Structure 1
Amino acid sequence: MKKGLYVVLMFVLLCATGAHPAPTQSKGVDFLARFGYIDYNPRLGNIMSQHDLSAAVMNFQRFAGLEQTGQLDHTTLEKMDSPRCGNRDVVGSDAAARKKRYALQGSKWQKKHLTYKIASHTTDISRRDTENAINKAFKVWEAESGLTFRQVRSSKADIEIKFAEKAHGDGDPFDGPSKTLAHAFFPQFGGDAHFDEAEKWAVSADKGVSLFIVAAHEFGHSLGLSHSDVNQALMAPFYNPNYDGLHDDDIRAIRILYGSPSDKHRPQSSTTPPRTTRKPRPGITRQTTTTKTPPVGACNGRFDAITMVRNGTTFAFKGDKFWKLNDQGMEPGYPKSTKKIWGLSGKVDASLSFGAYTDLFQGDVIHRYINGIPMHGYPKRISEVYKGIPSNLDTAFVWSGNGKVYFVKGDKYWRYNPSLRKSDNGYPRPLSVWKGLPERLDAALKWKDRTYFFKNGYYWRFDDERVEVAQSLKTPYPRRSDAWWLGCTDNTLKSSPEETGIGDKNEDVNDGDGNGASSRFNTVPRAMLSTLLMFIVSMLLC
C-alpha cells in the first residue's frame, strides 16, 4: 500500500491484539471522536490518513500517560474503557499541541462569590453525607483561589447540581456504571454539574466511587478549567481514587482565572476616596466599567447569527468572533474567538436554541451543542437533521408568537415541525408575510418571549398580536444593534447604562419593548422608517 493512503476511518484497524475485555477497535475510534482527538463523522463521509489517525492515538496516549506508540493496542483500548469524566479532553484549536500543563476553556465567572444548589440527591449515601462531600469539593478550590462558595436551597443558584441516569434532559445521556461518571458545563454555559446515579457513590473511595473526588474534578470545569494532561492533576480526565490534594498544575490554573486566596482579604487602598451612593433610576441595574475604548471590532452590531441558550445566556456571532451579552450590553472581555471556544472556523450562518440543544449552521452542515459542549456524532448534514430545510441559511429562530421553529433563506421562509421532523406542508412562503421586515435577514432570536430580527447593523422587534413589526413612539424601529445590544455608541463603550441609554432592557414598559430603555437615545435616521411600509401584506403566520 502506498504511504499516506487514505481510508475510511471506521475501517482502520491498527495492531489488533486478540480477545480482551477492552473496547473494540471501532469503539476506540469512536472514543477519539467523542473526546475531541479527531474530527470524524461517517455521515459526512470523513476520511483521514493513517498517519493522522496514528497522531491522534499518540495524542491520547500522551494525555493518558501511556507509551506513545500511535497504535490502538490493548493497553490503550483498556485505558479508554476506564471510568472518567464525560467532558472532552481536547477543547479548542490549539489544545492538542500544547505543552504538558493545565488548560483553560476560555470562559470564567465575572464574580468571585458563587452560590450552588443541590437540585437532586443520590440514594447511595445520606443527604447529609452528600452535602458534606459537595461542600468539601468546593472548599478544595476555595482554599487555593480568590473564590468563595455558599449553598442555597430555594433561590436560584449560579451552579446547580443533580444526580440522574441515562438521558436526563441535557442531550448528553449517561452510559451506565463505571464509564463516564459525571459531566459539567463551563461558566459561560451555566456551570451546572450532573452525576450519573447509576454509579455506586460513596463517602470514601474504598467503598465505591468517591463523590468528593469526582465532584471536585467536575467543579473545576464549572469554574472554567478544561482537562489537564498532567496525570497527577485533579483535572486529569480519568478517575483517580488515590487523590490527595490539588496538584501545582491545578493551583496555577485556578489562580490565573480567579487570583490567590490572599485576594479575598486584601484591604482597600487607604488613598481610595470614599464611595458615594446615588439612588438609581427605577428599572436600571447600574454596571460600571473603566473600559472606554473597546478592542477593534467589539462594537460591530452587524451580527451573522444570534441566539439565547437554555440557561438564558445570549450569544451573538460575527465572522470568526462572538459576544456574550447581558441586559446592559456585552460582557467584559468580548468578542472572543469562535474557533477557540466553540471549535468552529469561519462564519456562522445561523444559530438556533431549541430545548436542550444549540445548533450552529455553516453551509450545508449543522454543529450541535449541549450547554456549549459539542454533541457526539456532529456535525451532520442540515438535510439529515432538519428535513426539507435548505443549506446556506440566513437565520433560524423560535417565534414567540406560537413557539414554532422557522428558517429563513433569501426572500423565503420555512416552518419546521419537530414532531414530524420535517418542514410543514405549504412551505416555503414569501418572507414578505412578516409585515415590516426588510427583504432579507441576517439574524433573529427569541429573547424573553419576544422575537427580534437583525439586518445590516439594525434590528426590529416583532409584535406577535398584530403580526407586524412593533410600533414605538419613543424610539422607532429599526434601531442600532451596536447601541442597544452591545452597549456602544460611536464605536465607544460607555461606562454606565445611563450614558448608553440602555439600562435594563425591560425598562421601557410603556413602549412594550423588552430590549430598550431610554427615549433620549434615538440613533435611527427618519428616512429608514420608510422600510416599515414597504412589505405590508395581510396574511397570518400560524
Structure 2
Amino acid sequence: MASKLSFPFLCIFFFSLFAIPVFSHLHPNGLLDNNTSQSPFEFLKNMQGCHKGDKVKGIHDLKFYLSHFGYLNYQSNPNVTNPKEDNFDDELEEAIKSYQVFYHLNATGTLDAPTVSKMVKPRCGFPDKETHQHSDKTLHTVSHYQFFSGRPKWPKDKRHLTFAFGSRFPTRFMPHVVRAFSKWATASQYFTFSRAITYQSADIKISFARGSHGDGSPFDGRGGVLAHAFAPTDGRFHYDADESWVIGAVPNAYDIETLALHEIGHLLGLAHSEVENAIMWPTFTSGVTKGLNFDDVQGIRALYGN
C-alpha cells in the first residue's frame, strides 16, 4: 500500500473472476430488519473437508474468498492458467494454512470444521493481509497489531480530524459513533475529533450503503461483510445497510459503536490484529459489544510515535 489506498479490498482482479453467492434483502431502511437470509459465506460449509487434490464444485468460490481477504493471488502466479477451476491445488493449500495461522488454528491446509467455523463469521471487509503472500515480511508487526504496507498515516499537521455523517445516517446512531471517536482520541493521546460543518469538507465521511455503492468494494447482503473503511488519508467509512444495526448488545444484530471503533482504527492507519480481544480483530459476533484493547492502544501510539 502506498501513502493512500485506492480501495479497501485490493483485489479488483478477483471481482472479475469469481462471484461469491449474494443473498440481499433490500428492506426499506436497511437497518433494523429482522428477516433472515442466507449469509454470502454459507457456501463454505459445503466445502468442509476439502483438501489438496480434490476437485469439488464451488472451490473457485473458496479461492475468491481467500483472495478477497488477502491470502491468495493467482494473478501474480505464472503457473496458474485458469483460476476459475474447481481444483484444490498447492496454492490453495498454502493460502488456507496462512489463514489458519492468522486465526490461531491448526495449520493443516485442509478446510476442516474449525476453519469453516471461522470463515463464515461476519467480518470487516478489509483484507487481513493486503499483500496476498504467505508470509508477513511486508507488514510491520509489533506484538500482534499491524500497520498497512508503507505505514500510511495522517500528516503531522492533521492531529485534529473532522467527521460528518451522510444525509440518511440515522440520528439515533450518531452519538455512539461520536463516542467511538472520543475513545480513540483518549487512546491515541494524539488525535482530537469534531463534527465538520459540511459533509463535503469533512476529513472522515460516514454513511450507510448497500450492494455496489461506487467505491469499487460492493457489500454482499446480510451476514457477510459488515462494514469497511479506507486507510489514511482517504477518510471514507461505510456500514452495510443490509445488516441489522442496533445500540448495545442485542441478539441477532450488530452494535453500531463496536464497528465504529474497528473502522476508525483503519481510518487512522491500523490493519487487522491477530489478537482476538483487540477491536482490530477482523470478525464480529452478533449480540456482542466490544471495546478498545491494550493491543489497539499500543498499535496507534506506535504508529504516531507516542
TM-score normalised per structure 1: 0.41
Aligned to 2:101: 62
Structure 1 unmatched ranges of 5 or more: 1-9, 18-22, 261-542
Deviation of the 1:82 alpha carbon: 1.2
Aligned to 2:279: 234
Going from structure 1 to structure 2, the CA distance change for 1:87 and 1:65 (only over 3 Å counts) comes to same
> How do 1:423-442 residues align onto structure 2 when only pairs under 5 Å count?
none
**Aligned pair partner of 2:152 in 92, 104, 107:** 107
- Separation in structure 1 between the aligned mates of residue 231 and residue 65 of structure 2, nearest angstrom: 21
Asked if the contact 2:185/2:193 (under 8 Å) is kept, the reply is yes
Aligned to 1:507: none
Aligned to 1:45: 81
Report SS of the residue matched to 1:174.
coil
Aligned to 1:247: 293
Q: Which amino acid aligns with 1:30?
A: F
Q: Which amino acid aligns with 2:165?
A: I
- Separation in structure 2 between the aligned mates of residue 234 and residue 69 of structure 1, nearest angstrom: 27
Q: Please state which structure has a larger fraction of its residues in strand.
A: 1
Going from structure 1 to structure 2, the CA distance change for 1:259 and 1:144 (only over 3 Å counts) comes to farther
| Residue-by-residue CA offset, 1:413-449 (whole Å, 9 max, x unaligned) | xxxxxxxxxxxxxxxxxxxxxxxxxxxxxxxxxxxxx
Asked if the contact 1:63/1:230 (under 8 Å) is kept, the reply is no
> How do 1:412-427 residues align onto structure 2 when only pairs under 5 Å count?
none
Aligned to 1:169: 214
Aligned to 2:15: none
- Separation in structure 2 between the aligned mates of residue 93 and residue 77 of structure 1, nearest angstrom: 20
Deviation of the 1:148 alpha carbon: 0.6
Q: Are 2:175 and 1:132 equivalent residues in the alignment? A: yes
- Separation in structure 2 between the aligned mates of residue 153 and residue 96 of structure 1, nearest angstrom: 44
Asked if the contact 2:226/2:240 (under 8 Å) is kept, the reply is yes
- Separation in structure 2 between the aligned mates of residue 14 and residue 212 of structure 1, nearest angstrom: 33
Deviation of the 1:76 alpha carbon: 1.6
RMSD: 2.9
Asked if the contact 2:71/2:133 (under 8 Å) is kept, the reply is no
> How do 1:127-526 residues align onto structure 2 when only pairs under 5 Å count?
127=171, 129-145=172-188, 146-154=190-198, 156-188=201-233, 190-207=234-251, 208-240=253-285, 242-260=288-306
- Separation in structure 2 between the aligned mates of residue 229 and residue 95 of structure 1, nearest angstrom: 15
Aligned to 1:96: 135
- Separation in structure 1 between the aligned mates of residue 105 and residue 48 of structure 2, nearest angstrom: 17
Structure ID, larger Rg: 1
Asked if the contact 1:121/1:130 (under 8 Å) is kept, the reply is no
> How do 1:24-35 residues align onto structure 2 when only pairs under 5 Å count?
24-35=58-69
Asked if the contact 1:165/1:174 (under 8 Å) is kept, the reply is yes
Q: Which amino acid aligns with 1:142?
A: A
- Separation in structure 1 between the aligned mates of residue 96 and residue 163 of structure 2, nearest angstrom: 38
| Residue-by-residue CA offset, 1:192-235 (whole Å, 9 max, x unaligned) | 10111001110013252111001110111111111112222111
Going from structure 1 to structure 2, the CA distance change for 1:197 and 1:120 (only over 3 Å counts) comes to farther
Asked if the contact 1:102/1:228 (under 8 Å) is kept, the reply is yes
Aligned length: 239
Report SS of the residue matched to 1:187.
coil
Asked if the contact 2:146/2:273 (under 8 Å) is kept, the reply is yes
Deviation of the 1:141 alpha carbon: 1.1
- Separation in structure 2 between the aligned mates of residue 251 and residue 114 of structure 1, nearest angstrom: 18
Asked if the contact 2:93/2:109 (under 8 Å) is kept, the reply is yes
Going from structure 1 to structure 2, the CA distance change for 1:93 and 1:244 (only over 3 Å counts) comes to closer
Deviation of the 1:83 alpha carbon: 0.4
- Separation in structure 2 between the aligned mates of residue 27 and residue 63 of structure 1, nearest angstrom: 20
- Separation in structure 1 between the aligned mates of residue 81 and residue 266 of structure 2, nearest angstrom: 33
Going from structure 1 to structure 2, the CA distance change for 1:54 and 1:203 (only over 3 Å counts) comes to same
- Separation in structure 2 between the aligned mates of residue 196 and residue 93 of structure 1, nearest angstrom: 25
- Separation in structure 2 between the aligned mates of residue 93 and residue 73 of structure 1, nearest angstrom: 21
Deviation of the 1:258 alpha carbon: 2.7
Deviation of the 1:45 alpha carbon: 2.2
Q: Please state which structure has a larger fraction of its residues in helix.
A: 2
Q: Which amino acid aligns with 1:115?
A: T
Report SS of the residue matched to 2:216.
coil
Deviation of the 1:30 alpha carbon: 1.3
Higher relative contact order (CA 8 A, sep 6+): 2
Asked if the contact 2:249/2:289 (under 8 Å) is kept, the reply is no
Going from structure 1 to structure 2, the CA distance change for 1:76 and 1:69 (only over 3 Å counts) comes to same
- Separation in structure 2 between the aligned mates of residue 45 and residue 55 of structure 1, nearest angstrom: 18
